[in-house]
Amino acid sequence: MGYFQDEDNFYENLIKDYDSKLDTDGLSGQRLARRLAVLSHIGETENGGVNRPGFSQEEKQAKEFVMDWMNEAGLEVSVDGAGNVFGRLDGLKNVSPIISGSHLDSVPDGGSFDGPLGVLAALEVVEAWKTKGYTPEKPFEIAIFSDEEGARFKSGLMGSRAFMGQVKEEELTDYVDEQGHTFTEVIEEYGSDMEQYLDYEFKRKAIDMFIELHIEQGEVLEEENQPVGIVTGIAGPAWLEVNFKGEAGHAGNTPMVGRKDSLVAAAMLVKKIEELPKKVSDTAVATVGKLNVIPNGSNVIPGEVNLIVDVRDIHEETRDELLGIIEQEAKIIAETKELDVDMIHNSTIKPLPIEKKFQQELAEILKKHQIKPVYIPSGAGHDSMILGTKVPVAMLFVRSKDGISHHPDEWSSLSDCIQGVHVLKDYIEKQMETKE
């Protein structure tokens, strides 16, 4: 059986309560559902999540399916040195393109909407244009950025940051994945190489605007009972690597007094981190989601622990203030436990405010679709915040069931997804009219 089996539960759950009256203007809920279902089986985990690390065969396979659909839709498909995929539809005028898209990689055991919905929504817009015989004024491109989640190395957005020329080779020298593969080995295994990866596309390509549709990954739209919302800004994540270095030893013969147990130090920091964000602002957050114990033996006192702290806020100054407090706390703990600590700023991404003008334009379109405009800051990071360093950017959210994301239970109803596509399509068509 191919990837898509008719009794596909994912597809059946999407289509079963779909309001097919939303199939207007050339959009098709069934087509979107089928494609979401196909991608949901690539890298599928035993509990129905997906595992598609950046630059993995699974991410590549998901891209290849979408590239096939892009070719069938008559788009000119290209891939850059970072594995970013672009599907281009020429416009009536030869000017800078409007681009819309997202990513297809995932977090470990992630959901099937985070990323794919933005890519397939942009493709659904092109399918509708084809059905209606509409040719856009400006060229339109669908983008799939590689490795947005950063599940494989010590920072994310490795596709969009490469595209914008923001990655420096020296940053990559100590990038090693959990299988011990270096970044160079991974990008070569993927089919590119370091030179092509660093030869960034943005220097050759002006962009009129980038628009990303994404799931909300929060509960505001549920609380407001609206299917689609407007993103007002994107919190900037900073990933701080903390390495505690103590002394490995025999778990049985080493007295408790005098141990230099790195995992105890790490645990003290993780506990401390829980109470720090509220000291700087009520939107700051900090998380330790990845921790590596060395040598990781049940009967060995941990000699070394590496952990990554994900620190965010929608305001850069309070995000950086929190980062400083965490570094201070790590130093105090290391002194108290008489072990060493070194810290590395793996990535520090600027928060991105979205221009009020774009938010208002989206609000007008939402009202046209009888949707009450809801304005939401994004705690999650997105490729948009990288493109937004040099390109006008707008983002819209589709409601997430119970706000769940980065989890197999991540879900958005097909009716909400298609309403998001209607808004995306109208917004892109409006931007097609604006002067270069």
Q: Name the residues that contact ligand HGY, by CB under 6 A.
A: 148-149, 156, 237, 380-381
Please choose, from the candidates 107, 121, 102, the residue with its C-alpha nearest in 3D space to the C-alpha of residue 36. 121
Tell me which of Mn ion, ligand HGY, none is bound by residue 115, counting a contact when its beta carbon lies within the kind-specific cut-off of 5 to 8 angstroms.
Mn ion
The site partner of 156 among Mn ion, ligand HGY, none (C-beta below 5 to 8 Å per kind) is ligand HGY
Task: Give the CA distances from residue 21 to residues 28, 120, 310, 419, in Å, rounded to whole numbers and listed in that order.
Answer: 10, 20, 42, 11
Taking the least distance from each CB to ligand HGY, the nearer of 139 and 351 is: 351
Q: What is the dihedral of CA 333, 334, 337, 339, to 10 degrees?
A: 170
Rounded Cα distance between 149 and 339, Å, is 32
Least distance in Å: CB of 430 to ligand HGY?
28
Of 115 and 233, nearer to Mn ion (C-beta) is 115
Q: Which does 236 bind (CB under 5 to 8 A by kind): Mn ion, ligand HGY, none?
A: none
Per rule CB under 5 A, is residue 408 in the interface with Mn ion? no
Smallest gap from residue 289 Cβ to Mn ion (A): 12
Least separation in angstroms between residue 148's CB and ligand HGY is 5
Residue nearest to Mn ion (CB): 114
Q: Which is nearer to Mn ion, 87 or 111 (CB)?
A: 111
Check residue 114 for interaction with Mn ion (CB under 5 A). Answer: yes
Closer of 149 and 304 to ligand HGY (Cβ): 149
Alpha-carbon span 104 to 60, nearest angstrom: 9
237 binds Mn ion (CB under 5 A): no
For residue 303, the minimal CB distance to ligand HGY (Å) is: 30
Which of 23/58 has CB closer to ligand HGY? 58
Q: Is the peptide bond before 295 cis (omega within 30 degrees of 0)?
A: yes
Q: How far is the CB of 237 from ligand HGY (least distance, A)?
A: 6
Compute the distance between CA of residue 270 and CA of residue 102 in angstroms, rounded to an integer.
32
Query: Quick one: tokens of 156?
Result: 């994310």
91 or 115, CB closer to ligand HGY?
115
Whole-number minimum distance, CB 383 to ligand HGY, in Å? Answer: 9
State how far the Cα of 221 lies from the Cα of 268, in Å rounded to an integer.
Answer: 36
Of 114 and 141, CB closest to Mn ion: 114
Q: What letter represents residue 220's amino acid?
A: V
Between vectors from CA 23 to CA 211 and to CA 10, what angle results, nearest 5°? 80
Decide if 388 contacts 202 (C-beta within 8 A). no
Length of the chain measured in residues: 436
User: How would you label 398-419 residue by residue, b for 16+ Cβ within 10 Å and e otherwise?
Assistant: bbbbebbbbbbebbbbbbbbbb
Residue 326 backbone dihedrals phi, psi, to 5 degrees: -65, -40
Give the one entry of ligand HGY, Mn ion, none that residue 218 binds, where binding means its C-beta sits below a cut-off of 5 to 8 angstroms depending on kind: none
Q: CB of 306 within 8 A of CB of 316?
A: no
Closer to ligand HGY by Cβ: residue 25 or 219: 219
Distance of closest approach, residue 31 Cβ to Mn ion, in angstroms: 22
310 near Mn ion, judged by CB under 5 A: no
Q: Could you say which of 29, 81, 111, 115 contacts Mn ion (CB under 5 A)?
A: 115
Backbone φ/ψ region at 165: left (φ over 0), alpha (ψ -120 to 50), beta? left
Binding partner of residue 381 among Mn ion, ligand HGY, none, CB under 5 to 8 Å per kind? Answer: ligand HGY
Residues interacting with Mn ion, by CB under 5 A? 114-115
